[in-house]
Amino acid sequence: MKKKMESMTSFDEFLDREYGKKGTNQREKYDQGFEVFKLGVILQELRKEKGLTQEQLAFKCGTTKNYISRIENNASDIRLSTLMRIINDGFGGHLDFKISFN
């Protein structure tokens, strides 16, 4: 069992091996893509929590069902103004930002 544990790697070690260390172009591209993916998942979960279909959410924030689907499935970049409309008009929330530096 101990030998098996020694051969295991952490997720960070896996990312370093597959995409390079933090700060490299390939790793930055991966990290940015992952953030976009997380945003799509968060929006999908919020929509479901609010009991809205993609079509209902799209109507509330003045966009299309297809666009909501593309955002949720990481197939489309989202403009800040659209994200704000989805949060404000679609979910009745408020969007706050946090900026951090390494």
Q: Structural domain boundaries of the chain? A: 9-90
Q: Which of 85, 21, 15 is nearest to 57 (CA)?
A: 85
Q: For residue range 54-64, what is the model confidence (pLDDT) as tens digits?
A: 999 999 999 99
Q: What is the pTM of this model?
A: 0.77
Single-letter amino acid, residue 78: I
Q: What is the pLDDT of residue 6?
A: 67
Helix, strand or coil for residue 89? helix
The token pair at 11 is 């997720």
Q: Is the pLDDT of residue 15 over 80?
A: yes
Q: Which of 54, 60, 55, 65 is nearest to 87 (CA)?
A: 60
Q: What is the pLDDT of residue 19?
A: 92
Q: What is the CATH T-level fold of the domain 9-90, as seen in this structure?
A: 434 Repressor (Amino-terminal Domain) (1.10.260)
Q: For residue range 66-94, what is the model confidence (pLDDT) as tens digits?
A: 999 999 998 778 889 999 999 999 999 99
